[in-house]
């Protein structure tokens, strides 16, 4: 919303209004293309938070039901067997970390690629 309000006040949008473009054309030709990068980047940064929330809720028993597989449920089962088979906790924890790190790096790369202010 803030990005739309900021772009709406820029000169090229005012020029389009002055030339007689209707609101639908301004939205489709100016506002959406200039905000799609920000939307994609914010989604890629929100995915790791959703993954961690799901894993945490499954770990404490409030997430996906028991017959279904979840990284949080696998970690919970691994903590029960920590002394005998520690790899059952290590593997799901490492996978959660790697998935979250991959999405963060991917989102950072997308932000660098799609942000017009960073292009030189």
Domain definitions of the chain by residue range: 2-114
The pLDDT tens digits for 83-96 are 888 888 889 889 99
3-state secondary structure of 66: coil
| Span 16-40, average pLDDT | 87
Can you give the pLDDT at residue 117? Answer: 64
Q: What is the largest CA-CA distance in the chain?
A: 74
Q: How long, in residues, is the chain?
A: 120
Q: Model's pTM, two decimal places?
A: 0.69
pLDDT on residue 120: 57
Q: How many CA atoms lie within 13 A of 55 on its CB side?
A: 19
**pLDDT confidence tier of residue 105, bands split at 50, 70 and 90:** very high
Q: Kindly indicate the confidence band of residue 114, based on its pLDDT and cuts at 50, 70 and 90.
A: confident
Task: Look at residue 118 in the predicted model and tell me its pLDDT.
Answer: 61
Q: Tell me the two tokens of residue 94.
A: 């490492």
Q: Which residue has the higher pLDDT, 64 or 49?
A: 49
Rounded Cα distance between 92 and 90, Å, is 6
């Amino acid at each position: 919303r803030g990005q739309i309000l900021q772009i709406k006040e820029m000169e090229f949008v005012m020029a389009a209004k002055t030339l007689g473009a209707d609101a639908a054309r301004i939205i489709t030709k100016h506002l959406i293309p200039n905000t799609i990068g920000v939307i994609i980047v914010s989604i890629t940064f929100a995915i790791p938070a959703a993954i961690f929330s799901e894993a945490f809720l499954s770990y404490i028993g409030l997430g996906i039901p028991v017959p279904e597989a979840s990284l949080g449920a696998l970690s919970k089962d691994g903590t029960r067997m920590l002394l005998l088979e520690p790899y059952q906790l290590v593997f799901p924890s490492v996978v959660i970390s790697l998935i979250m790190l991959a999405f963060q790096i991917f989102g950072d790369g997308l932000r660098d690629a799609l942000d017009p202010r960073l292009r030189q």
